[in-house]
Amino acid sequence: MAKTKRDQKSAELANQILENYQPETVEDMQNALKDIFGPMFESMLKGEMNHHLGYASNDKEEKETENRRNGYGKKTLKTSSGEVDIKVPRDRDGSFNPELIPKRKKDVSAIENKVISMYARGMSQRDISSTIEDIYGFSVSHEMVSDITDQVLPELEEWQTRPLSNCYA
């Protein structure tokens, strides 16, 4: 049986989680992943809102639409690691219907591993699009995937390079 080589980015992400959270039990590891899921889902939704409105947050240029961002709503997602509270972006005319985490859908435990793997593997837009199609049964445009990844990657890099405590409990 041939050994498969582990993806380098997956191993790096795992090492960063281990280094930053220093989990001692499976429960500690699940809590670490739960801390990551909330901001990642929020970033994906912000990217989807950028695509919906056609401009990025804080864009000062003239817009093609009168619709604007209108704060956030609270939502509690059920994950395999427990419940995670997230903020879901809203728009003024109420036309934003998120496709990644649809309205009234709360259980996202089936997509967690796929979400983590998309970022850990550095997947192309086409791969992410096909993965989303596999998860939800619909396809999203490459432009939407680009808007979402443009929103998430800076936050992921910020998390990866954040300063660490000198002492861990």
Q: Is residue 62 domain-resident?
A: no
Q: Is residue 60 domain-resident?
A: no
Tell me how far apart the alpha carbons of residues 26 and 168 are, in angstroms, rounded to a whole number: 17
Q: Is residue 37 domain-resident?
A: yes
Q: Is residue 13 domain-resident?
A: no
Q: How many domains does the chain have?
A: 1
Tell me how far apart the alpha carbons of residues 111 and 58 are, in angstroms, rounded to a whole number: 30
Distance of CA 22 to the CA centre of its chain: 22
For residue 109, give both structure tokens: 């435990």
| Sign of the CA dihedral running 154, 156, 159, 162 | negative
Q: Is residue 167 domain-resident?
A: no
Q: Is residue 163 domain-resident?
A: no
Q: Is residue 93 domain-resident?
A: yes
pLDDT digits (tens, 9 = 90+) for 23-52: 888 788 778 877 888 888 888 888 889 899
Give yes or no for residue 3 having a pLDDT over 60.
Answer: no
Can you give the residue range of the structural domain that contains 94?
A: 25-55+67-157
Q: Is residue 82 domain-resident?
A: yes
The pTM of this model reads 0.60
Q: How confident is the model at residue 117 (pLDDT cuts 50, 70, 90)?
A: low
Average pLDDT, the chain: 78
Helix extents (H) in the chain? 8-21, 26-53, 112-120, 125-136, 142-160
Query: Do strands 82-91 and 69-79 pair parallel, antiparallel, or not at all (unpaired)?
Result: antiparallel
